[in-house]
Structure formats: structure tokens, C-alpha cells
Amino acid sequence: MIEALFIYLATVCVICAVLTVSLRQPVYNVLALLTMFFHVAGLYVLLNAEFLAVVQIIVYAGAILVLYLFVLMLLNVRTQSRHLHRQWPFAVLILGSVTAMLVGALQDGTWGVASGEYTAAAIQEIGNTQAIGLRLYTDYLLPFEVASLVLLVAMIGAIVLTKKGLIDDHIKE
Amino acid sequence: MEIGSMVAVTLVQIAVVMGVVLLTVAYMTYAERKVLSFMQDRLGPMEVGPWGLLQPIADGLKLFFKEDIIPSGANKIIFAVAPIICLVPALIGFAVIPYNGSFTLFGLEGGGVISDLNVGLLYIFAVAGMGAYGVILGGWASNSKYAFLGGLRSAAQIISYELAMGFSIVGVLLLSGSLSLVTVTEAQAGTWFGFIPQWNIFLQPVAFVAYVIAAVAETNRLPFDMPEAESELVAGFFTEYSGMRFSLFFLAEYGNMILVSCLASILFLGGYKAPLPILEFIPGFVWLALKTWALLFFFIWIRGTYPRVRFDQLMKFGWKVLIPVTLANLLVTALGVYIYNN
């Protein structure tokens, strides 16, 4: 049962990921990505990580992708032509190294065996959300806060970029 | 319990909950027309059945037999799928709504909820966010300026007010220490001094007000019904829809209203818990229904009272008032819980 579900979810994930980058109509790309997010969430549920699954949907499907769709429609992008971005060599480089890393990790043999103090049974007992919360806010508090700081910096950067004219005027004054 | 009877119990629960929700949607439209009429010194629907009580059924039949029109130049697939994307999230959210304490019926045990997910609250937020896709895609696929603008407005509004809604309930989560709606309800059992029910509304009044405002905005209701402002956009994102597809959008809007009202009763008003111990002989689902209907009446009431706000006022209010207020409330609640626990 679980294996059948996994095969279904993984297959749809891969197909939708390919469709996301290969379909011509931008709105279809977004919809393919949305379908993929849902199936990734399904994979998390199979791994007993309900919290992660729901957060995946809230953050990626519910917030980020809606914004993508919103901007896409506001700008009314309708590209009918296919073209390679000029940065494609970098893309190939990154893709190649990630693939190499994954293949290496798979051949290592420790895949799926390593388990820390939070085994499936332990998580079942204290609850998935509680386990993540405890771990995040006791052992990984600093990295967590640093990550939020990085996001804040990116946000301010985006505001500065969009308000560029305003800030230049302000400096002139 | 063996797997067969478990499946049977769940299916019966789903059927009953869906039946009640759809019936409530039907009679919510009737209640809305009647209440608005009374507020405007009119009688409202009176012809079909006694006091017009069969009006929703007549309306449903009418919509069912209407011609289904797809505008030329519309994106046919997305146009057809959008109402479904809109309706499904509004209905599957009810899967985690606890409508009663656990009970036994015909020798079978029922939990009083279809599925007690331990991330129930987040689940509702996750599926509710999907409704926005139906609205945006419906507006986009219609190939009409009115529908398109309505869809975009709706998207902006839903994204903005979802944040405030999320922040306003975090305080409740801090108080009850769980994301499961059953646990949240059970945490509100009992009374203070014997006559004040231990509901979260008394501990989180600011959050309750913020939640209700955000809920009205989320469901695109007056005074925040910018996405379907008649005077500007005809009917907003579903301008081009007719017949059954139109009624699916309609069902989704009312289903969402019932869902956010149910959620408000569970989070702030004690859900299926009776307000006083002497009233506990009345079954839990009656209490939940009463509280939900009170909130639904409130929805109609403000529709009959307030004029529509402007779009920039709506955005300004959401981002510059509601979100800071809910954040401040969250900070105060967190401090309060910390001090209380130590």
C-alpha cells in the first residue's frame, strides 16, 4: 500500500517537475508546480511528517505560488517562443554537481539506515509538531534565527530595489 | 475496532457532515435574504412554500437547469476546473471540525470529528489557501476584464488577510498548546467563578476581533467584497459563469463562511462545549450550531449595516493596522503564558 502510494506520488512529482520547465504557457507552468507541491506534501505524509506536509502547502502552494501567479497575470507574460537562457552553462554545472552528490550519497549505503534519537516510535509518542518545535527551539535556535535574519535582509533588499527612484530623490534633496 | 466498521463509521460521518453543511449553505442564502429584508423593512421571499421556506430548493433547481455558457476565447479547461478548485477546499476543511464530544450510536463509537489530525488547524489554513487559486484562475480563464480584475483583487485580498488571520489564532494556540481542534475545544471546558465559561474569547478579545475582521475579508463579504463589487466589476471573478458552475462558486463562498464561523466558535467560543455546567444536557453539536449561526447572523448583520470600503483602505487596514495589532497581541500572550507557567 505505502509502496504503491510512494510510486504514484514520486512519478507525478517527476512528471510535474518536467512539465514545470517545459510547458509554454506560464500559467500552466505554475499549475504544474502546484501539483508537484501537493505530491511532495503527500510524500511527507508518507514519512509521518504531517507538520512538514501542511507547512509545505501553506508556505509554497498557499503563499509563494499564489504570488507568482498574481505577478504573472499582472504582467500578462505570454511567451510563445522557446529559448535558452544565456546562463545555461551555470545551470548545467549546478545540476551536474547536485546529481553527482545524490548519486554519491546513494552509493554510500547509509541511505535510510541512519536514525537519531527521534525514531518513528518516539515521534509518534510526543507528536510530530512538538518534536520539530523542541528540536528547533532548543538545539537549533541560532541557525533558525540567522535564517530569519537572512530572509529579512532579502526582503529589505527587494524593497530598496523597487523604491530605487524614491531613494535617489531623497539623496538628491 | 475492525477496519470495516471504521470505514463505515467514517463514511457515515462524512455523509452527515456534508449533508448538514450543504443544507446550511442552502438555508444560509434564505436567512441572508430574509434578514436583510427585515432590516430594510421588506418581507423577502414569500412565494415558495410557507414564508418562502422552500426558496433555496427552487433556486437550486433553477441553477441546475440553466444553460452552461463558456465565453469565446476562454481557456476551456481552466474555466471548467476553477469552480471545482474553489469549492473543494471549502468543503474538505470540515473534515477536522469537531462537532461533538465522543459518543456511541448503535453500538459504534464516533469521535465527534471525521479526522482528529494533530495538525488540524494548519490543515484548514492549508486547504483554505487553495480557494484563492480557484478565484484567480476563474477570473483569468474567463477572458474578460471584469472577471480578471476581480480575480486579481481577490488574490491580493486573500493573501493580505490570511496573514492577519494566522497571527490572530497563534495566541489561542499558545493558550491551548495544541494544533488539534479537539484539544483546543477540550482546553476550554469548565468555568471561572462558576458562571464565566473558560472560553478563549475572554483571554483573547483582541485576537477574536482581528479574526472576525480577517474572516469577513477572507470570505469576500461586505464591507470587504471588493472582488465582486457590483458597481465596479459587475460580479467580479465569476461574471462570465452561469448555471451549475456559477452555483459552485456560490456554494464555495457560503461554505467558506460556514467554515470560518465554525472555526471561530471552536477557537474562541468553546466549540461544542456548553457555556455552563447546568446546560450540559443539551448535546454538543447543538451548541456548535448555535454559536456558528450566531456568527453567521453577524456576517449578514454587518452586510446590512456597513458601506463598502475602498481598495486602498482595505490594503492599508490589513497591513498597517490588523497585522501589527495581532503581532502585538501575540507578544503579550506569549509573555503572559510564560509568566503564568513559571
Give a yes or no: residue A22 inside a domain.
Answer: yes
**A116 — pLDDT class (breaks 50, 70, 90):** low
Q: Determine how many CB atoms are found less than 10 A away from the CB of residue B214.
A: 26
pLDDT of residue A82: 60
Contact present, B48 and B55 (Cβ < 8 Å): yes
Contacts of B218 in chain A (CB under 8 A): none
Q: Grid coordinates standing for A17?
A: 517537475
A57 and chain B in contact, CB less than 8 A:
yes
Structural domains in chain A (count): 1
Q: What is the pLDDT of residues A94-113, one digit of tens each?
A: 999 999 988 888 776 665 55
Amino acid at B56: P
- From chain B, pick out residues whose CB is under 8 angstroms from the CB of A62: 125-126, 129-130, 132, 162
Cβ of B164 under 8 Å from any chain A Cβ?
Answer: no
- Could you tell me which residues are beta bridge partners of residue B105? B108
CB of A123 less than 8 A from some CB of B: no
A13 contacts chain B (CB < 8 A):
no
Q: Is residue A39 part of a domain?
A: yes
Q: What is the ipTM of this complex?
A: 0.80
Looking at the predicted structure, is the pLDDT value of residue A5 above 80?
Answer: yes
- Whole-model pTM? 0.85
CA torsion B246-B16-A46-A126 (nearest 10°) is: 130
pLDDT value at residue B130: 84
> For residue A59, what is the nearest residue in chain B, using CA coordinates?
B126
Q: Could you tell me the pLDDT band of residue A77, with boundaries at 50, 70 and 90?
A: low
Judge whether A93 lies within some domain: no
Q: Is residue A5 part of a domain?
A: yes
Mean pLDDT of A6-25: 89
Q: Is A155 a domain residue?
A: no
Residues of chain A positioned with their CB less than 8 A from the CB of B159: 63, 66-67, 70
- Average pLDDT over chain A reads 82
Query: From the CB of residue A31, how many other CB atoms can be counted at a distance below 10 Å?
Result: 23
**For chain B, which residues score pLDDT lower than 70?**
1, 103-111, 226-233, 235
- pLDDT of A29 over the 90 cut: no
State the best of A38, A50, A68, A155 to mutate against chain B, taking most chain B CBs within 10 Å. Answer: A50
pLDDT digits (tens, 9 = 90+) for A31-44: 899 999 999 999 98
Which residue is associated with the grid cell 443544507? B23
Q: Provide the number of CB pairs (under 8 Å) joining chain A to chain B.
A: 66
Residue of A nearest to B163 (CA): A63
Rounded to the nearest angstrom, the gap between the alpha carbon of residue B325 and the centroid of all alpha carbons in its chain is 22
CATH code (residue A24) = 1.20.120.1200
How far apart, in whole angstroms, are the C-alpha atoms of residue B104 and residue B81? Answer: 40
Residue A173, pLDDT > 70, answer no
Q: Which residue range(s) make up the domain with A22?
A: 1-77
- Residues of chain A in contact with residue B125, where contact means CB-CB under 8 angstroms, are 54, 58, 62
Tell me if A55 is assigned to some domain.
yes
pLDDT of A100 reads: 92
Q: Which of B216, B211, B257 is closest to B94 using CA atoms?
A: B257
Residues of A with Cβ-Cβ distance to B123 under 8 angstroms? 54
Alpha carbon distance A96, B29 (integer Å) = 58
Distance from CA of B38 to the nearest CA of A (A): 39
Inspect the interface and report whether the beta carbons of B155 and A69 lie closer than 8 Å: yes
Indicate whether A16 belongs to any domain.
Answer: yes
**Is residue A79 scored above 70 in pLDDT?**
no
The set of cell numbers assigned to A153 is 535582509
User: Does a structural domain hold residue A110?
Assistant: no
How close is the nearest chain B Cα to the Cα of A50, in Å? 7
* Chain B residues whose beta carbon lies within 8 Å of the beta carbon of residue A67: 159
Residues of B in contact with A30 (CB under 8 A): none
Inform me whether the pLDDT recorded for A153 exceeds 90: yes
Q: Choose from A84-88, A158-162, B149-153, B220-224 the range with maximum mean pLDDT.
A: A158-162
**Is pLDDT above 60 for A80?**
no
Please give the Cα distance from A67 to A59 (Å, whole number). Answer: 11
